[in-house]
Amino acid sequence: MQPSPARILLVEDHDIVRIATSMLVQEVINDAVVDTAANFKEAAYAVSSKNYQLIILDLNIPGANHLLTIEKLRALQPNVPVLVFSGQKEELYGLHCIRAGAAGFVSKESKATELQDAIRVVLKGQKYLSPVVRAQLLSSMVQQGGADPAELLSPKELVVMEMLLEGKWTKDIAGQLNLKSTTVSTFKARIFKKLGVNNLLDLAKRVELYHLSK
């Protein structure tokens, strides 16, 4: 039985860009099925109706709300990677897109080969970080104290952190580790203090930033 061809959603409102980008995609994946959407409503309908291996997204489509568009599309299909392909300035939007949940950012001012490289990387389940975004991430890590979380935490704190990031409640963690809930709460407070964060969302971003910078 032959595997199904990769299905890609290209969200772009300019015909010429849509045609050229589709051709570039099919050079990377010969048998790719490229669906297109010209606005957010069409994109949301497509993502709600079909399973995609990749979404290539222009942030500036009608009906979209820039960075929130990434979050909305991934909410409809959480496992699909979103590669932003945009005319917006990479220096301003690239890192923000990654933090908003995008798997990568490619400027429309880039060479065609960069978009193709990004597609290959993202389809492997990895993040595509251009030199500009990587430099910004490293700078951000330095400013935030970018040491490896594993080096800052004790083994027990590291286990508790991983369980917190998995969405487990304090009571559940206490039960699994045979600890008191107050002890887990103490570990949680220490983790937040050592990593310089105030809540679980910031903790997740702090850990993600470290791993992305590598």
pTM attached to this predicted model = 0.66
Q: What is the tens place of the pLDDT at every residue in 7-43?
A: 999 999 999 999 999 999 999 998 899 999 999 999 9
Output the average pLDDT for the chain. 85
pLDDT over threshold 70, residue 128: yes
Report how far residue 129's alpha carbon sits from residue 108's, in angstroms, rounded to the nearest whole number.
15
Whose structure tokens read 């490619």? 106
Q: Would you tell me how many other CB atoms lie within 10 Å of the CB of residue 59?
A: 22
For residue 126, which phi and psi values (nearest 5 degrees)?
-110, 165
pLDDT over threshold 60, residue 2: no
Q: Tell me what pLDDT residue 28 has.
A: 93
Give the C-alpha distances (Å, rounded to integers) separating 82 from 72, 150, 202.
11, 29, 22
CA angle 190/214/93 to nearest 5° reads 95
How many percent of the chain have pLDDT more than 70? 88
Q: Tell me what pLDDT residue 96 has.
A: 79
Q: Tell me what pLDDT residue 89 has.
A: 77
Which of 133, 158, 134 minimizes the C-alpha distance to 148?
158
Q: What is the tens place of the pLDDT at every residue in 48-63?
A: 999 999 999 998 899 8
